[in-house]
Amino acid sequence: MVSSASPSSEIVGLGSYVPQKVMTNQELESIMDTTDEWIRTRTGISERRVADVTEGTSDLAVAACRDALQDAGLRAKDLDLMIVATCTPDYFMPGLGVLIQNKLGCRPIPAIDLRGQCSGFAWALSTADAYSKMADYQYILVVGSDLQTRILDYSLDGRNSAVLFGDGAGACVLKVKKTLGESQPSGLLDHILGSDGSGFSHLMVPRPGCQANNSSFISHNDIDSKKTAPYMDGRQVFKYASYYMEKTVTELMARNKLSIDDIDLIIPHQANLRLSKILKTKLGIPPEKMVSVIEKFGNTTSASLPLCFVEARQSGKLKKGSLIITTTFGSGFTWGGNLIRW
């Protein structure tokens, strides 16, 4: 079984936010060449949320953070550190974290931005856990917020990605635990992180940027040729996602001497319902141990895991003492997962 030999952190507050506006598959049918049937059979998605023009990624994040702070019974001024995962920040510079820190009214704490795309929240949890072991922090806020719908290409060229993504944010407040040697350790217990940059071109937003052989950060041609929208080779991404999401779960179980019977919940990144089904079949996971929100939110990138935590808690699947494994995959390629005793 899992053991705890050093200080660790536990989740004491959970929050989320999704924009009010719902975009159904039928609405997508009316603006691009797609069908509800194609989207539901290929991805499991029925609808997704779309941010209002008055909202930015930081606003989605702040709403989720306030929810998490209230859940923890804390104020923004109680926070000692913030780790923020996003790949759609308000600005290229500065990062999203400082905007959230300011809008929330935190003390001048470090607000660290982290890139991991759809693996961002799993990476942020593991980063926060590492800080909890090496510095004198008490409360750490972990945030995932993405606003993908504003960069999608809703024309024929972009339809394989445009139907997948939705907007949303989630946050967890971690409390650093000082007690060691518990008989049943709780909180963040173990993490797996990985990346393979040779796959970067299979899922990317090519422009703007500071790559070689581009004299400008962005050009009119970049915009006209839709280079500012995500490009995705769906089949390649699917193949790698399916492999690494399963590998993450099996490795986390193997090195902690656990079987599926010991796990209460598997929380996969919500990229495609078919990916979750493959994971369920390959590992023999009973349906009641899986969590899914993709039907109503689509792929919300770094908000995907915390939106699942919230759903699992609301539905009664996630209880004090539940043993959870998360598993993610994203652009990069990146992957990762967490073992958590709630």
Q: Using CB under 6 A, pick the residue from 43, 145, 148, 186 that binds ligand COA.
A: 43
Q: Is 37 exposed, middle or buried (0-12, 13-18, 19+ CB in 10 A)?
A: exposed
CA 151 to chain centre: 18
Taking residues 80 to 119 in sequence order and writing x for each that binds ligand COA by CB under 6 A, - otherwise, the string is --------------------------------------x-
Pairing, β 168-177 against β 139-146: antiparallel
Which among 91-99, 132-140, 232-240, 314-322 is the span making contact with ligand COA, rule CB under 6 A?
232-240
Peptide bond into 94 cis (omega under 30): yes
CA 232 to chain centre: 18
Checking phi first, is residue 208 left (phi over 0); if not, alpha (psi -120 to 50) or beta?
beta
By CB under 6 A, tell whether 271 contacts ligand COA: yes
Least separation, in Å, of the C-beta of 158 and ligand COA? 9
By CB under 6 A, tell whether 139 contacts ligand COA: no
Taking residues 151 to 190 in sequence order and writing x for each that binds ligand COA by CB under 6 A, - otherwise, the string is --------xx--x---------------------------
Of residues 15 and 230, the one with the C-beta less far from ligand COA: 230
| d(C-alpha 153, C-alpha 230), whole Å | 8
Determine which one of 118, 160, 308, 338 is catalytic.
Answer: 118
- Cα distances from 299 to residues 109, 184, 294, in angstroms, run 30, 34, 6
Determine which one of 25, 160, 272, 299 is catalytic.
Answer: 299
**Chain positions contacting ligand COA, by CB under 6 A:** 34, 38, 42-43, 118, 159-160, 163, 232, 234-235, 237-238, 241, 271-272, 299, 329-330
